Chain A
Amino acid sequence: MELQTLTYIVVGLSFALYMGIAVWARASTTSEFYVAGKGIHPVANGMATAADWMSAASFISMAGLIAFKGYDASVYLMGWTGGYVLLAMLLAPYLRKYGKFTVPEFIGDRFYSKTARIVAVICLIVASLTYVIGQMKGIGVAFSRFLEVPFEAGLLAGMSIVFFYAVLGGMKGVTYTQIAQYVVLIFAYTVPAVFISLQLTNNPFPQLGLGSTMADGSGVHLLDKLDLVLGDLGFAAYTEQKGGTLNMFLLTLSLMIGTAGLPHVIVRFFTVPKVRDARSSAGWALVFIAILYTTAPAVGAMARLNLMNTIQIGEVGSPEGNLVYADRPVWFTNWEKTGLLKFEDKNGDGRIQYYNDKNPAFAETAEKAGWKGNEMVKVDRDIMVLANPEIAQLPNWVIALVAAGGIAAALSTAAGLLLAIASSISHDLLKGVFKPEISEKQELLYSRVAMAGAILVAGYFGLHPPGFAAQVVALAFGLAASSLFPALMMGIFVKSINNKGAVAGMLAGLGSTLIYIFWFKGWFFIPGTAMAADNASNWLMGVSPGAFGAVGAMINFAVAYIVSSQTEAPPAHIQHMVENIRVPSGSGAAQDH
C-alpha cells in the first residue's frame, strides 16, 4: 500500500483510540481531574508516567542528538533516567503521603505562605511552558513529515489535536490515554530498532547489537566502524568526549535534579493509592523508560552509520565515492520538501559531499578531491528517528508506525504539561489565592480555559523556537532544577527551613538560572536580544546555559539555608507536619479540602 495512505490509517487509528479513551474516562470531579481520584495501580501509573515523561524530545530528538554528538549525548541518557532515583528516594513517597493535588500546594502549606505558593506557581509555569515549547517543535516536525506540509502548517495541525485532547481529558482520562500511548510509542520505537540491529549486526537486541560486530563478515565492531567512517570524513570520533568534563557533569546533574523537580512528573505520584505504591511506581516508570533509553544509543549510532554510508558510497576522495544527487533515495526528497534537509551543489559536480569542512586537518584532503565545502548544508537532527526506517529501507508499515509513535510521545507529554499548568492556575492561583469562593464546577471550567491559553502561547514559541527540541527542553530542566526541586527537598528533609528562606531561595535559584539562559539565548528567547554569543568561549567556566540549573539549585539551597538561620524557626505545627510526612502510616485515601 502507498506509504502516505498507510500512515494516515495507522495514525488515524491511534487517534481514534486515544479519543475514545479520553471520552470514556472523562473527569467529572476535581479529584478525578487533578489526580485521577488517587486510584491508579502502581504499574499502570508507571506506564503512564513513562508516556508522560518520554516526550517528543525523547522519541524524536534524543537519538538524533546521540547520532550527531556520540558519547557527549550520554548526558541526556543518564540525566533523564537518573532523576528517577532522586524522585523515588527524595520526593515521591513523601509528597504522596502529604496527599494534596498540586506541587505549589505542598510548598504553600509547608512554608505557610501564600507568597511561596505563588512563587512556586510562577516557577512551575515557566518550567512547564519552556518544556511545552520543545514539544511543539517536535509535534511540528512529526506532523510536517506525516502530512507532507511545511513545518508551520504541521505545528498548527498538531496544536489543534492537542487542544481537543488536553481540554477534554483531565488526569483520569490523560492517565488511561497515556497507557495506550506508551504501548504505541514503545512499539514504534523498538520495532525499527530491532530490524536495523538485525540488518547491521545480526543481533535482534539493539542494546547488544550496538556492542556487536558488523554483519558484513568483516569482524569489525559497529562502534569502531562508525569511529572510522566519521574519521575518514574529518568528523570527530563517535565514542570520544568532545565537550568539557565540568559542563558534562553539571548538565547531567541539572537534568537529573530537573527531572525530579518537574511538576507534571511529580504529580503523577499523587495518583497512586499508597506511599508504598509511590516508591515502586517510580521503579516501574523507570523500567518502561529504560526500554526506550537503552535502545536510543543503538538507534542513534546505527542511523548515523546508515546516513554516512548512503551518501559516501565508495572511497573518500574518488569522484565515484559520492552519491549522485539525481540518484538520491526517496526519503531524501521527502525530507527536502519539509526544509529540514538541504543540499547545495557547491562544486557543481552533481554529487553529494558530506564531510566536516570546519576541520582544518581535513581541508587538504577535501581540496585534493575537488570538494568546495560540506554540501549537506542542513541536516536537522530532529529528523533522524523519523527518517531512520526509510534510510534502512524498512517496510512501509514500520515507517507509518514510527510517525504514530512520535505523535503519541509528543501528545502524551503535552497533555501532562498542560494539565500541570492548568491545575496550578485554576487550583493554586484562583481557588487557592484569588477566588476561594468558586465552585468545583467553575474550577474545572477555569482549568480548561487556562489550558487553551497555554496551548496558544506554546504554539507561538514553537514557531520561533530557540533551538533543537531536546535543547529547549534542557532549559526547562534547568529551571525546575533551580527552583522547585530544592524547595521540595528542603521542605521534607530540613525542618528548620522557614517561609522567608524558601521564598528567597526559590527566587535566587530561578533568577540566576533565567538570567544565565537569557544572556546567551536572548531575553525571553526573542531573537537578536542575546547579550553574548552562545558558545563555549563565552560561557562562565565552560558551563552551558542548559547546565546552569545545577548551579542555580546550589544557590537556592545556600540562600534558603542562610536566610532561614537568620530568621525565626518555623512554627510548631509545621514542624509536626514535616514529622508526619516522614512516616508512611496514616496516608489515607484521597483528601479534599
Chain B
Amino acid sequence: MTSDKAQDYWKANLRLVMGCLAVWFVVSFLFGVFLVDVLNTISIGGYKLGFWFAQQGSIYTFVVLVFFYASQMNKLDRKFDVHED
C-alpha cells in the first residue's frame, strides 16, 4: 500500500473514532452527569430522563456504538483494500 493511501485510511479511521467518541461523551458525561439536573425535569415513564441516561440509556448507546464502529471499519478496510484474507 502506498503511504498516501495509508494516510488516507488512517485519517478516515480517526474521523470515525472521533465521531463515535463524541456520541460516547454526550450520552454518558453530558446527559448522565453534567446535564443530569436539567434532564431530570423531563420524565419518561417512571424514569427521570437524566437518571435514565446514567443508569440505562448510556449503556444501550455504547452497545450500538461498538457494533456501528466495527461495521464501518469493515467497510473502510474493503474500500482501502487493507482487509484480511
Interface residues of A (CB under 8 A from B): 66, 71, 74, 77-78, 81-82, 84-86, 88-90, 93, 207-208, 210-213, 221-224, 239, 241, 245, 248-249, 252-253, 274-276, 279-280, 282-283, 286-287, 290, 293-294, 297, 579, 582-587
Which residues of chain B come closer than 8 Å to A223, judged between CB atoms? 46-48, 51
Give, as a whole number of angstroms, the nearest-CB distance from B21 to chain A: 7
Give, as a whole number of angstroms, the nearest-CB distance from A190 to chain B: 15
Interface size on B, residues (CB 8 A): 44
B24 touches A74 (CB 8 A): no
- Which applies to chain A's interface (DSSP): helix, strand, loop or mixed? helix
Which residues of chain B come closer than 8 Å to A579, judged between CB atoms? 6
A82 touches B73 (CB 8 A): no
Q: What's the Cα separation between A585 and B34 when bound, in Å? A: 41
B4 interface residue per 8 A CB criterion: no
Per-residue CB contact flags for chain B residues 64-75 toward chain A (1 = under 8 Å, else 0) read 011101100110
A585 touches B24 (CB 8 A): no
B24 touches A85 (CB 8 A): yes
Given contacts A248-B33, A249-B34, A584-B77, contact A280 B56 (CB under 8 A): no
- Which applies to chain B's interface (DSSP): helix, strand, loop or mixed? helix
Given contacts A276-B84, A584-B82, contact A222 B46 (CB under 8 A): yes
Known contacts A74-B51, A85-B65, A297-B55; 4 additional CB pairs below 8 A are A74-B33, A82-B24, A88-B69, A211-B45
Interface residues of B (CB under 8 A from A): 1, 6, 9-10, 13, 17, 20-21, 24, 28-29, 32-34, 36-37, 40, 44-48, 51-52, 54-56, 58-60, 62-63, 65-67, 69-70, 73-74, 77, 81-84
- What are 7 A-B contacts with C-beta separation under 8 Å? A239-B40, A239-B48, A275-B84, A283-B63, A582-B6, A585-B83, A586-B84
Q: What's the Cα separation between A71 and B33 when bound, in Å? A: 10
Give, as a whole number of angstroms, the nearest-CB distance from B41 to chain A: 12
Which residues of chain A come closer than 8 Å to B55, judged between CB atoms? 66, 71, 74, 77, 297
The 5 A-B pairs at the shortest CB distance, nearest first, are namely A221-B46, A74-B54, A211-B45, A279-B70, A283-B66
Q: What's the Cα separation between A248 and B30 when bound, in Å? A: 12
Give, as a whole number of angstroms, the nearest-CB distance from B65 to chain A: 6
Which residues of chain A come closer than 8 Å to B58, judged between CB atoms? 77-78, 81-82
Identify B17's interface contact among A90, A210, A274, A583, CB under 8 A.
A90
Q: What's the Cα separation between A93 and B69 when bound, in Å? A: 12
Which residues of chain A come closer than 8 Å to B45, judged between CB atoms? 208, 211-212, 221
Q: What's the Cα separation between A248 and B37 when bound, in Å? A: 14
